[in-house]
Amino acid sequence: MMPGAPIDHFDDQVCEDLEFDVIRGMLVSLAGCPTSEARAANLVPSKDRHWVIARLEEADEMKRLRASGMGFPLIEFEELTREIAMLTVRDSVLDELGFRRISSACRIMNQVLEVLDTSDLPWPRIEAVVEGQTPNTELIEAIDAVFDAKGQVRDDASPELLTIRGDMTAVRRKINRAFLRAMKVLQDKGQLADIREGFVQERRALAVISSYKRQVQGAVLGSSNTGSVTFIEPGPCIPLNHELEMLRDDERKEIRNILRSLTRSIRRHLPEIKGYQRSLTELDWIATRARLASNIQGSLPQVRRKPGLHLLSAYHPLLQLAHQQAGKITHPQHVELHARQRMLVISGPNAGGKSITMKTVGLLQLMAQSGLLIPCHNASEVGIFDAILPDIGDHQSIENQLSTYSYRLGRMRHFLHVAHPRALLLLDEFGTGSDPELGGALAEVFFEELYDKGVFGVVTTHYANIKTRAAKLPEAFNGSMLFDRESLSPKYQLEIGQPGSSFTFEVAEINGIPPALINRAKGKLDKRRVELDGLLSDLHKEKSKLAKLTNRQLRAELEAEKATAEAERMKQALVDKERSLNEQLEALNVARVRGSKLSQFIDKFASGQSNKDLFEEIKTYLAKEKARMESQVGKSKGTKSAKRRPNHQSEKIVRGSLVRLRTGQERGDVIAVEGDQITVMFGAFKTKVERSRLTWLR
């Protein structure tokens, strides 16, 4: 099913810049049939939200269905395009291969329907693909009645064929006996060559020494390369071989009649066969996308109604695969764009991961809008963009005498013309390629113009004025790639909230530039610029320490909250035990008093006399005891109602809620809910907390 509304301005350059062409190539290699290969090669992202959701859910269902162990069949079938075309032609006859393909497709469809029918779980997207299809054994039985397990026409496919093949077997025996008799005679005479026999012109022949060939009765079929051996068909075998050839012709005609009859029989199932072709090709395309998801550890993200994205633990799929093969670690990224923070400016050291972070955002967005599962946490969210506009890499062209900067100015002119609030802009090394001061000023103007058009974007830059402008605009924000100054190595982790130092001199030191040259370079710069760069670097270091302290404090709060909850539980248990003991003691005292009163009544009872006054006294006592008990029950209910606990509304907690710990002030966002286990992001710290330990805020 092709997207009804492809995104705007998607072309080969966009595809190549974000390496979506590599993803399409991977899909082609995983496809099981030509239709899926064509779909993979021509896959384009869509801006139709309903189409995107349907395709993502299809791939996710197929992935889960494969992992469920329910025996869902592999969709490995040969397409029935040729067979369907032939069945529409009157008096056409399918060959053996065509019948085998139809039988295979029917068996696969029957298995699919059986698995879906017996499953306890619903698979709505997969079931929609096979809607209208019903199990069919009649086709399989009809074909199996004609063909054996090896795909050959059975001897008993018709009475005539059984007779013909019986005659052929008898004639072959006669030919074999006649041939062996002739061979023995010539062998006794010493007229046979060492190889004794051969097979020439599809006939068995005696290998006769050429000097004796005129002494042998039969038909000469040929000779060896040297001419020393002549191959002769024995005379008695000649009429028998002619008879066998006539029987073979009869066999071919009878098989043709059988296949014609079988073709007529299955032609009435043509609508079902077309349905198999349609459903199985669609299932194969879904399975192709599911196989890619398994290879790249893809997950189903949530699809927002508005543009934006929130990627949690996201990976660039191609980088992740390359690192897996090389045994390297791939660092996940967390990126969020929404209406109040829609333009992210990433700065930091070269080779620190700025470009790959931006490419990760672009490629995962293209994949998601193409119906492909993406490698990220399943609590991630993607919006739908009408256009994705990248400017990445060096596009210098010698043939067209086009410099990198000229090319980028052309792209910028295009972006200024087509940018709108539902577009995602991806600009790598924004503003480079010209004089730093002049190019930086022009880049700042471009940045402001694009911002005013309401676009979403991820921009990487070294220009200080772009970083400063992003800090002042309300819906733009800075981010930086972290750098470890102690080990002088990048951390490949994005941190939101402040611009980053380029660590120019540190990176130079890593790459072996002598310290003397680095110090000379520092001397040529404005002292304030060097100090500012160092200040940014120190600020990163301090912020990293603060983040560690915050995480430690949050963990301590969680541990303290656990200890407090345990102490409260133990205290409540002691209170309950004390209350229970007091109640038991009170009950014993009441029983003792009642027992004493009962003894008094017994002593006053006079046998054989009137005890009217005693009975009245007993009735009065019982009435007072009943009134006292009812009064105690009322007080108990009032006490319980007065001791109701405060309502923390924890039952309202769902994914996306804002919550806080009941014993602390730290607030966090809920990113996943699994029963009473709530996964909460407290800043950059993620943890699982029981529902009963959280208060719902909104």
CATH class of 157-255: mainly alpha
The residue among 79, 73, 25, 27 whose CA lies nearest residue 285 is: 27
Q: Which CATH number fits domain 302-524: 1.20.1250.20, 3.40.50.980, 3.40.50.300, 3.40.720.10?
A: 3.40.50.300
Confidence (pLDDT) at 401 = 40
**Dist. CA 29–CA 582, nearest whole Å:** 77
Identify which has the larger pLDDT, 30 or 697: 30
3-state secondary structure (DSSP) of residue 490: strand
What mean pLDDT value characterizes the chain?
Answer: 84
Identify which has the larger pLDDT, 398 or 51: 51
Give me the helix-helix angle, 34-41 and 270-296, nearest 10°: 50
> Which pLDDT band holds residue 633 (cuts at 50, 70, 90)?
low
User: At 608, which amino acid appears?
Assistant: G
pLDDT in tens, 32-72: 999 999 999 999 999 999 999 999 999 999 999 988 888 88
CATH topology of domain 648-698: SH3 type barrels. (2.30.30)
Q: What is the mean pLDDT of residues 327-343?
A: 91
Residue 78 scores a pLDDT above 80: yes
Q: How is the chain split into domains, by residue range?
A: 24-136+269-296, 157-255, 302-524, 648-698
The CA radius of gyration of the chain, in Å to the nearest whole number, is: 43
3-state secondary structure (DSSP) of residue 240: helix
User: At 355, which amino acid appears?
Assistant: S
**Dist. CA 148–CA 141, nearest whole Å:** 11
pLDDT-above-90 percentage for the chain: 44
Q: What is the mean pLDDT of residues 444-465?
A: 90
Q: What is the mean pLDDT of residues 610-631?
A: 76
Confidence (pLDDT) at 543 = 63
pTM over 0.75: no
Confidence (pLDDT) at 525 = 56
**Dist. CA 207–CA 542, nearest whole Å:** 96
Residue 501 scores a pLDDT above 70: no
Of 4-18, 207-221, 674-688, which range is least confident? 674-688
> Which pLDDT band holds residue 514 (cuts at 50, 70, 90)?
confident
Angle at 667 between CA 661 and CA 673, to 5 degrees: 70
Of 351-360, 497-506, 572-581, which range is least confident? 497-506
Q: Characterize the bridge pairing of strands 456-460 and 343-347.
A: parallel
